[in-house]
Amino acid sequence: MNILFVCNENICRSPIAEALLKKKFEENNIEGVVDSAGFEPTTINDSPNPQAVEAAKKHNLDLKGNSRIFVKKDFDRFDKIYVMDTLNYREVKYLTRNKADETKVDYLMNVIEPGKNQTVPNPIHSGIIDIDSVIKILDNITDVIVNNIKSSKSDI
C-alpha cells in the first residue's frame, strides 16, 4: 500500500503523518511507500518546521527530508492520497485526471470520522491547537490505517 499525505506547505502535518506511518509500516512489516507533499511553492525543498521537529523528537520520530510539491504523477505512484484540509482537497481534486484518481483522494480525518470531511488542525499557523495534540491525532489515525491494512490482508 502506497500512501501520500498532503498539506499546504509540507513542513508540519504531512511530514509528521509520514514519519508516523513509515515507523508503523516498519514495525508491522507492511510493504509500501509513504511520502508527503504540499502545494506551497515558497517552501519547496525546505526542511520540516523546527517546532514540528522538536515535538516529533519527543515522540521518537525523526522528521527527515525536504518539502516537495504535489504533482499529477503522484496519482500513479500512490494508492491513497490523504489531505489535511479543504484547501488541499480542492487542490488535489483539481489535478485529478479521471475517476480512478478521484477515488484515491480523501480527507485524512475520514479515517477516524468517516464522511465528516474534517480538517486536521494546523498547529503552526492556526494557533488553535498545539503540535503535540496534532501528533496524537495523527498517531491515532495512522494506527487505524495500519489496522485496516492488516485486516484487509487477513481477509485474503
Whether residue 124 is contained in a domain is answered as: yes
Distant-in-sequence, close-in-space partners of 92: CB < 8 Å, separation ≥ 6: 6, 70, 81, 83, 105
Q: How far apart are the C-alpha atoms of 6 and 15, rounded to whole Å?
A: 9
Query: Considering the domain boundaries, does residue 105 fall inside one?
Result: yes
81 φ, ψ to 5°? -125, 110
Q: What is the pLDDT of residue 46?
A: 80
What's residue 17's pLDDT? 97
Give the residue from 15, 35, 125 showing the smallest Cα distance to 80.
Answer: 35
CATH number of the domain enclosing 33: 3.40.50.2300
Contact of 13 with 138, CB cutoff 8 Å: yes
Please report whether residue 156 resides in a domain.
no
Assess if residue 154 is contained within a domain. Answer: no
Question: How many helices (H) and strands (E) in the chain?
Answer: 6, 4
pLDDT in tens, the chain (156 residues): 999 999 999 999 999 999 999 999 999 999 999 999 999 888 788 888 888 889 899 999 988 888 999 999 999 999 999 999 999 999 999 999 999 999 999 999 999 999 999 999 988 776 667 899 999 999 999 999 999 999 987 664
> Does residue 27 belong to any structural domain of this protein?
yes
In this prediction, residue 127 carries a pLDDT of 64
Query: Within a domain: residue 150?
Result: no
Give the pLDDT of residue 110: 98
Structural domain boundaries enclosing 105: 3-142
The answer to the question of residue 134 being in a domain is yes
The structure's pTM equals 0.94
Is 8 inside a domain boundary? yes
Domain count, the chain: 1
Question: Which helix (H) or strand (E) is 8 found in, with range?
Answer: none
